Amino acid sequence: MASRKDGAVAEIEKKIIEAFEVFDHECNKTVDVREIGSIVRSLGCFPTEAELHELLAKVEEEEPTGYINLEKFLPVMTKVLLDRSYQPIPEDVLLHAFEVSLKRIFIKTKCLFCLSGEPFTEEEMEDMLSTALDPETNTVRYRDYISMMIVDET
């Protein structure tokens, strides 16, 4: 039993190291702090921005250098994956979320997304709308949009 668990941990660590290395341009086991979000999310987690900041606080150096070391990142991220923190949102909850915000005020939801606790940047807003918006009706076909986002999951 114990060895199987160790095997699982080792496998998780290998996965984290791989994802980390994809963003490690200088091949010196560091990544730009701004890429941590991408790394964490591509490992299957759904942290809010607030949760991401918490994580960063744990892995940053005492004097923030703008870079995160693999040494510090690995144990923290391993725990995140083992504890299954930052779980994905089930599809029906997401659908409901769209219905709540979109049904009434989507186009004006631009405000909503920018005023919310975790505001979208101008860029994110444009990106999202350009893929989600149906140019003919100027509305979001959110069911299709959700399917597209969810299909991407493995």
Partner 1 sequence: MGNCTSLQPLQFRRLALFLSLAFKAAVLIQQWYRRYVARLEMRRRCTWRIFQSIEYACEQDQIKLHNFFSYLMDHFTPSSSKERDFISRMFISGESFKEAELEKYCDYESMEVPDSYTGPRLSFPLLPDHATALLEAFKQKQQLHARYVLNLLHETRKHLKQLPNISHVSTCYSEEVTVCGDLHGQLDDLFFIFYKNGLPSPSKSYVFNGDFVDRGKQSLEILIILFTFLLIYPKEVHLNRGNHEDHMVNLRYGFAKEVMQKYKVHGKKILKMIQNVFCWLPLATLIDQKVLIIHGGISDTTDLDMLQKIQRNKVGWSFPSGSGRRCRSKSSGAASWWTASRSQRSPPIPILDILWSDPMPQEGCRVNTVRGGGCYFGPDVTDKILEKYNLQFLIRSHECKHEGYEFCHNRKVLTIFSASNYYEIGSNRGAYVKLGPDLVPHFVQYQASKTAHTLTMTQRISRVEESAFRALREKLFAHTSALISAFKAYDKDNTGKISLSSWAMAVESVLHLGLPWRMLRPQLVRSTVDGMLEYKSWLDDLAMEQRSQEHIQSSLLEVIYRNRSNLETIFRIIDRDHSGLISFEEFRQTWKLFSTHMNIELTDDGIDDLVRSIDFNKDGNIDFNEFLEAFRLVKQSQVCLQMQSREREGRYL
Q: Minimal CA–CA distance to 51: which of 80, 10, 91? A: 80
Q: Minimal CA–CA distance to 32: which of 78, 64, 79, 74? A: 64
Six-digit token string for 25: 């341009």
Report the residue from 14, 34, 141, 143 that binds partner 1 according to the rule CB under 8 A.
14
Question: Which one of 61-69, 75-83, 119-127 is the stretch in contact with partner 1 (CB under 8 A)?
Answer: 119-127
Angle between helices 122-132 and 142-151 in degrees, nearest 10: 100
Question: Which one of 25-33, 61-69, 74-82 is the stretch in contact with partner 1 (CB under 8 A)?
Answer: 25-33
The answer to whether 131 contacts partner 1 (rule: CB under 8 A) is: yes
The answer to whether 9 contacts partner 1 (rule: CB under 8 A) is: no
Six-digit token string for 111: 């405000």
The answer to whether 147 contacts partner 1 (rule: CB under 8 A) is: no
Minimum CB separation from partner 1 for residue 26, in Å?
4
Whether the CB-CB separation of 72 and 11 falls below 8 Å is answered with no
Whether the CB-CB separation of 80 and 55 falls below 8 Å is answered with yes
Q: Which residues bind partner 1 (CB under 8 A)?
A: 7, 10-11, 14-15, 18-19, 21-23, 25-28, 37-42, 45-48, 88-89, 93-94, 96-98, 100-101, 104-105, 109, 112-113, 115-118, 120, 124, 127-128, 130-131, 148-149, 152, 154
